[in-house]
Amino acid sequence: MTSGERCVNLLARFLDPEAREAVLGDLHESRATARQATRELLLLLLYRQLACWRTSKPWLVLLAVVLPIGILLSQIGRNISAFAVMQLWTRAHSGGWFHGALPHDRALIAVACISSAVFLQAWCAGFVIATISRSTLPISACLLTLLWLFENLAWPLRSAAAWYTLAASFVLLIASSALGMKSGFHAQFIRPRLAITLIGFVTTATALSIWVDGWFGEALEQWSSGALPMQPLAIRMWPFVLSALPAFCLLLSLKSTKPNRHVEA
């Protein structure tokens, strides 16, 4: 199989099975070359994507899920990844922990809580994107990745620790959301019990993240002797709360779709 044929097969995967079979059959009957087939498929996919954006669901996903998750979780994920890498890097090279404003035992708890919250929130966001607006999934996934790249590549990658931070941030947001998109794309439905369980986990992880985030504020305020006071709770909590909203959108999947397949616990 040539590279052109592999490209055609890859593009055809974005079509529904019935449409894919019909389009590939027409291209085969017209004896189109790989380059011509690639061009025709790209034009068809572009036309279908533009047509899908005439409805309200893609815009709902864009404004309520992709932009908040892409911006907020990229920042939260990168910050906690950088902090975790700093702890592990210091431990590996000096045998001790990073002596920052926050004690290392609390630092480990904070990393575990916030990382778990980011991973679960990103998975739920990916699942919601795939179930509510499956037809615009490629564009939504690309926009989410671009937002993540914009946040992470704004920092120079001049050391191994910076690359480790980038890898950890990739796992927390992009990899987890991709898993959610894959589950939502193939299933398009989720068991009510599993949805409620996921919402419970996300709510718990979000609440713990808001709580341990206060540790950073208290430690920084003590370290600076009051020069850097801790922000009010309302300001500290809103990024975590907004990032958790897609988890509650799982309930929309229970009411708005009635497919034959589902995600099992």
How do the domains of the chain map onto residue ranges? 3-52, 57-256
| Residue 31 burial (C-beta neighbours within 10 Å; 0-12, 13-18, 19+) | exposed
Q: What is the pLDDT of residue 90?
A: 74
The number of beta carbons lying within 10 Å of the beta carbon of residue 122 is 29
Contacts of 161 (CB under 8 A, 6+ apart): 85, 86, 89
Across 72-81, 98-107, 176-185, 215-224, least confident range: 98-107
Say yes or no to pLDDT of 261 above 60. no
Mean pLDDT computed over 20-29 = 77
d(CA 223, CA 81): 22
Helix, strand or coil for residue 18?
Answer: helix
Inter-CA distances, 131 with 26, 125, 200, Å = 30, 10, 20
User: Which residue matches tokens 């309200």?
Assistant: 56
Q: pLDDT tens for residues 63-75? A: 888 988 899 999 9
Confidence of residue 213 (pLDDT cuts 50, 70, 90): confident
d(CA 91, CA 161): 13
Q: 134 and 259 in contact (C-beta within 8 Å)?
A: no
Q: What is the pLDDT of residue 259?
A: 47
Q: What is the pLDDT of residue 34?
A: 77
> Tokens for 177?
């959301």
DSSP secondary structure code for residue 228 in this structure:
S
Highest mean pLDDT, choosing among 151-155, 167-171, 234-238, 247-251: 167-171
Mean pLDDT of the chain: 81
d(CA 36, CA 114): 48
Q: What is the pLDDT of residue 219?
A: 78
Say yes or no to pLDDT of 170 above 90. yes
Mean pLDDT computed over 150-155 = 84
Helix, strand or coil for residue 55?
Answer: coil
Say yes or no to pLDDT of 260 above 50. no
Q: What is the pLDDT of residue 188?
A: 63
DSSP secondary structure code for residue 30 in this structure:
T
Q: pLDDT tens for residues 1-19? A: 677 777 877 777 767 777 7
Query: Among residues 259, 108, 265, which one has the least CA distance to residue 201?
Result: 265
